[in-house]
Amino acid sequence: MKKIFITGALGQIGSELTSALRRIYGGDNVVATDIRKNDSEAANNGPFEILDVMDGNKMVELAKKHNADTIIHLAALLSATAEAKPLFAWNLNMGGLMNALETARELDCQFFTPSSIGAFGPSTPKDNTPQDTIQRPTTMYGVNKVAGELLADYYYHKFGVDTRGLRFPGLISYVTPPGGGTTDYAVEIYYEAIKNGSYTSYIGQGTYMDMMYMPDALNAIVNLMEADASKLKHRNSFNVTAMSFAPEEIAAEIKKHISGFEMNYQVDPIRQGIADSWPNSIDASAATEEWGFKADYDLAKMTKDMLDKLSVKLK
Ligand code: NAD
């Protein structure tokens, strides 16, 4: 990765990934693009271009202009939003991905795009979900993610594009709010704990999902992209996770820091249905074996850091 071109760079992952990559590879060598501009560091502290990923010609033109050798494709509609607008989600998630893969093929770029635990479905084994297993998701987001994993594999086998990807769990961060996923409750809860001392969860008690703190997700992207290609057997779909918890467990952890914290439940059937179709916990051993994946943050360490950072941010 020498000249990195990022789509959807102002979202939850992109805004932090752009800054992290600029620190590692040099400010001028990381081009952030998004359909909109804002006052974030990612949009203003280095090269930035407006790009709608549905415009394939403009993507090639901009990637060429900046001599990109790496494409990181993040623009997408997330699980809950995609379920509300399935046709739009199909068009954006698959159309944007095709344009990004085509750009990588034409300009001979290394390529990264995230998959998700959403690529699994109700018939997938729920506990310690294996790397290679049944993938019959019942959400539009999941259908897009499985198709995306297969397309990225196809571009590697057919055209030799160096495609790589991770199946991310719910990502928790304090810089940019999440963009409409099923696991967003695990971010909102920290904001509400600090602001109001209480949170009403739209996910019910006893619902386990995998999660990861953003610094671990950023390290995982860099380490996978820098990994020795000859060691990668599962290029486009590595299971990665740092923890699995249910809403009452994150609430209990927050209570250790904010003793009066109160948790209530008002289950949203749509997002609960999506959560119920996903694994309780996934097995990340292939990522560990093939490129040394390791997460540093567990629930306790993440909770302390989130509350420390958000207390300053929300002052
Ligand atoms: P996000 O919703 O926070 O950000 C998406 C960004 O894409 C936004 O900045 C938005 O403005 C931009 N965008 C939307 N439409 C666009 C278009 N037509 N052209 C260009 N940009 C457009 O998403 P995120 O959480 O940063 O997720 C990025 C990727 O990671 C997605 O593929 C998502 O499925 C995947 N992922 C995220 C999580 C998570 O917990 N955040 C978990 C698993 C996988």
CA atoms 252, 258, 259, 265: torsion sign: negative
Instruction: Please report, rounded to a whole number, the percentage of residues in the chain having pLDDT higher than 90.
Output: 98
Apex 6 CA angle, 3 and 7, nearest 5: 150
Fold held by 4-168+213-239: Rossmann fold (3.40.50)
Distances (CA, A) of 43 to 22, 38, 160: 12, 6, 32
Fold held by 170-211+242-281+296-313: UDP-galactose 4-epimerase; domain 1 (3.90.25)
User: How far is it between the farthest Cα atoms of the chain?
Assistant: 58
Copy the structure tokens of residue 6.
């990022």
User: For residue range 1-41, what is the model confidence (pLDDT) as tens digits?
Assistant: 799 999 999 999 999 999 999 999 999 999 999 999 999 99
The predicted model gives 143-152 an average pLDDT of 98
pLDDT at 278 over 90: yes
Which residues have CB under 8 Å from 123's CB, separation 6+? Answer: 134, 136
pLDDT for 1 equals 76
Which regions of the chain carry the CATH code 3.90.25? 170-211+242-281+296-313
Ligand 1 center to 179 CA (angstroms): 7
User: For residue range 156-193, what is the model confidence (pLDDT) as tens digits?
Assistant: 999 999 999 999 999 999 999 998 999 999 999 999 99
| 81 touches 139 (CB < 8 A) | no
Copy the structure tokens of residue 50.
């407006």
Q: Is 265 a catalytic residue?
A: no
| 77 touches 93 (CB < 8 A) | yes
Ligand 1 center to 162 CA (angstroms): 22
Which regions of the chain carry the CATH code 3.40.50.720? 4-168+213-239
Side chain identity, residue 298: D
- The distance from CA 204 to its chain's CA centroid, rounded to whole angstroms, is 23
What residue ranges line ligand 1, CB within 6 angstroms? 7-8, 10-14, 34-36, 51-54, 74-76, 78, 92, 114, 116, 168, 170-171, 178-179, 181, 183
